[in-house]
Structure 1
Amino acid sequence: MSAMMYRLTDIRHRIEEEIRSELSRRTPSGLRLLRLRRLNALVRERLSARLRRFAPA
């Protein structure tokens, strides 16, 4: 696993923890959840693009 893949995976893990933390609050912030989910989708997109680029054809 390259350093960039590891870094993206780590960032995604931390974002998912933040989403779970926000959802467990008594009144979760919809705006914060929206921002976190969008960021998570962007990181997931970058990860999949890197996997497609290095996958054997």
Structure 2
Amino acid sequence: MTQKEKIKLEMKNLQYEQSHFGACTTAGKTDQEIAHIDERFFWLVKSWNHSKQA
């Protein structure tokens, strides 16, 4: 992999992380929206733990 390709890949990864963190913020969300985010998170963790045990 060339230096240019490495830089492009790193930029792509950073853009993904920035997008992900922006999607995880609760700023400007209602209490109901935050509760829904929490429910989805804990459901995912439970599902992930269950799949690790299988």
Which structure has more relative contact order (CA 8 Å, sep 6+)? It is: 1
User: 1:24: which partner in 2?
Assistant: 27
The aligned runs of 1:1-57 (5 Å cut-off) are 18-20=23-25, 23-25=26-28, 28-53=29-54
Q: 2: distance between equivalents of 1:45 and 1:17?
A: 24
Residue-pair matches, total: 35
Structure 1 residues without counterparts, runs of 5 or longer: 1-13
Cα RMSD (Å) of the superposition?
A: 2.1
**What TM-score comes out, normalization by structure 2 length?**
0.50
2: CA distance between counterparts of 1:38 and 1:17? 18
Moved over 4 A (4+): none
Q: For 2:52 and 2:36, locate their aligned partners in 1 and report how far apart those are by CA, in whole Å.
A: 24
- Any stretches of 5+ residues in structure 2 without a counterpart? 1-19
For the residue of structure 1 that corresponds to 2:53, the secondary structure is: helix
Larger Rg belongs to: 2
